Structure 1
């Protein structure tokens, strides 16, 4: 793929965010605090759903260019990088506008509403010859990178198996006001695509890709209620996802996500090997946001698990120290890596081609669940 030459190291990356609202949402709680702390970015523009809401956001955050549409932002010659922070059904329109304008694009995960859209967008990005980035920031978490290196350095020996159980946090008995779109499977923002997708991407980074999957899924709560009002709403999203399969190394893998939160285990990931074991625990199954603890043991089976604190070298973006423990931290680490990729021509952050491959895995899981068969990847 032909890439644009990286910008000079001294040139700030002029950035525009589509979906930055003055009211609330993911962008002001994650993208905004990350970008405003990192040198090398110049947040120049935003786009919102209407000109009025765009003006309100521009005034609130002190951003000079505020647009009522993604197409207007993409056409701004003062924008180098378009950040897509809107609901999944809108990703395609916004991304195609940005690619058509020759802009670099960072899109939140999932890339598209289903596999066909993801593959279309990856192909469009390859034709455009720009840099693209997928917001799979669980792999940026210091604890996840620590576990990756422990495995690579032989802490557990040969990996025999891995097992994971997690709570999806949302998709339980209640939903947040304004979160009704997450209940409709056709909208593409599901427990499978969001927390499971982020988490399985990190698992694959640490242990390797799946080569085959079997799956069982179910919607056990077809009727849920809005928090506060008690209003009933239908849910078509699967709130139980159980996947088993084999990794490229031959290791056996299993993962079970449950909707809502549990009174017992909300995140528990084991990696079992010939020489030792690793255990990662957390407060919920959104690995890209969770607070994580790493323990391990080597030698005989009577060796007790011991704390394996994440070394300080993994907190390698000092400008983000004030965000430690917050969801914005991993987003900020990914932005720091994006900056390096743009300036140095490296490829450390997943691109749209990677995102399409990841959505192919999710599609295989859905096909395995629908047919009751093992699907080879």
Structure 2
């Protein structure tokens, strides 16, 4: 697709619940990411459920066209190239399908949809139309994560044997404002384990293979949290703890924990062990000191760093070392500059990861090659989550069915 600029419309970018709109992910991440790459993207329109809120966002950022109806926007602006779907998950399918039917490329926030059936329809429509897609698993674009995948592909650790992936956050136990209540409702998220999607995507992307088998346990451990608006209680039934035993590529063994009930959580920790070494990815520094009342709207969440070590066959054979002495004998690995595609943001900011994703999406459109993670990559996560639900019901291992690809 040889265009100097891609015309983009964002659906879901209202200023709400904060003076600078930071409570809307599209306002604090997508819009800055697109405006930062103005030589590549023309942010031409914003659509929300109310003309008043769409117009407010357009005035604030200097965007020319405001709409309160997706179909009307598509009809009146046939030259739109990409529709960004950044609304609640329960509305993703409702917004994405008219865009796909109108022949537009789609960048959809996670999860792709609230059911595999909806996600399948979106995937099939994009495939039939020859359209490009991107899904908002932004953590894929952290430079340390990209380099980890590159090192695994290059044979740094030899043949992968086992892994452990953990993500611990306090998102579902800490007090939250009333407008966040939807986060804790199962009907608004879809799959019980959808909050493990970022971690599943990283595991499959870094190892370069699909999850083939899963044994899962998923629970709601914090069914309520304080409502900061009125000191009442927000109750929920959305799964907040997911624990999986996994086989990836058929023979790589691993475990994955996603816990959203961990006060002072450590964030991401991902370890891979192979026949010739190991790699470890982790959030090793603390987020910025940030005041929500006056802060810049997009605080850093801590920067991912990469560590690793390779086996020296000569050293091991010439002077064997006791296994205990090799524990933690790894070092930090410098991340090459080639994995940072954009400037103007701090690593760890949501807008940085999103800008990286948009850059990659544009590259794919220009070269005709699919960018990743796209609908095909992410519908696989839906299949894994289907198997996870079946595993919980059967209390045992389940194979993942990819036949619908």
TM superposition score normalised by structure 2: 0.84
Pair 264,139 (structure 1): closer, same or farther in 2 beyond 3 Å: closer
CA distance in 1, matches of 2:247, 2:156: 21
User: 2:336: which partner in 1?
Assistant: 311
Aligned-residue offset at 1:189: 6.3
TM superposition score normalised by structure 1: 0.90
Pair 291,148 (structure 1): closer, same or farther in 2 beyond 3 Å: same
CA distance in 2, matches of 1:13, 1:114: 30
Trace 1:71-220 onto structure 2 (pairs within 5 A).
Answer: 71-75=71-75, 76-188=77-189, 192-194=193-195, 196-207=196-207, 208-220=209-221
CA distance in 2, matches of 1:164, 1:354: 19
RMSD between superposed Cα atoms in Å: 2.1
Q: Deviations over 1:47-106 (max 9, x none)?
A: 011111111111111111100112222221231111100001111111111122221111
Structure 1 gaps of 5+ residues are 1-5
Aligned-residue offset at 1:305: 1.8
Trace 1:224-263 onto structure 2 (pairs within 5 A).
Answer: 224-227=225-228, 229-248=230-249, 250-263=251-264
User: 2:314: which partner in 1?
Assistant: none
User: 2:36: which partner in 1?
Assistant: 37
Aligned-residue offset at 1:263: 4.4
Q: Give secondary structure in 1 for the equivalent of 2:35.
A: helix
- How many residue pairs get aligned? The number is 364
Indicate whether 1:63 and 2:63 are aligned.
Answer: yes
CA distance in 2, matches of 1:338, 1:264: 32
Pair 314,206 (structure 1): closer, same or farther in 2 beyond 3 Å: same
Specify the structure having the higher radius of gyration (Cα).
Answer: 2
Pair 356,321 (structure 1): closer, same or farther in 2 beyond 3 Å: same
Pair 41,217 (structure 1): closer, same or farther in 2 beyond 3 Å: same
Aligned-residue offset at 1:138: 2.1
CA distance in 2, matches of 1:220, 1:29: 30
CA distance in 1, matches of 2:264, 2:30: 31
CA distance in 1, matches of 2:354, 2:244: 27
Q: Give secondary structure in 2 for the equivalent of 1:243.
A: strand
Indicate whether 1:333 and 2:350 are aligned.
Answer: no
User: 1:373: which partner in 2?
Assistant: 396
CA distance in 2, matches of 1:58, 1:190: 34
Trace 1:17-32 onto structure 2 (pairs within 5 A).
Answer: 17-23=10-16, 24=21, 25-32=24-31
Aligned-residue offset at 1:190: 7.4
CA distance in 1, matches of 2:370, 2:158: 28
Residues 169 and 264, structure 2, Cα contact 8 Å, conserved in 1: no
CA distance in 1, matches of 2:199, 2:12: 24
Residues 224 and 234, structure 1, Cα contact 8 Å, conserved in 2: yes
Q: Give secondary structure in 1 for the equivalent of 2:134.
A: strand
Pair 249,142 (structure 1): closer, same or farther in 2 beyond 3 Å: farther
CA distance in 2, matches of 1:45, 1:101: 16
Pair 52,179 (structure 1): closer, same or farther in 2 beyond 3 Å: same
User: 2:6: which partner in 1?
Assistant: 13
User: 2:293: which partner in 1?
Assistant: none
Residues 191 and 259, structure 1, Cα contact 8 Å, conserved in 2: no
Out of 263, 288, 309, the position equivalent to 1:297 is: 309
Pair 90,72 (structure 1): closer, same or farther in 2 beyond 3 Å: same
CA distance in 2, matches of 1:9, 1:101: 19
CA distance in 1, matches of 2:192, 2:358: 25
Pair 322,137 (structure 1): closer, same or farther in 2 beyond 3 Å: closer
Aligned-residue offset at 1:339: 0.8
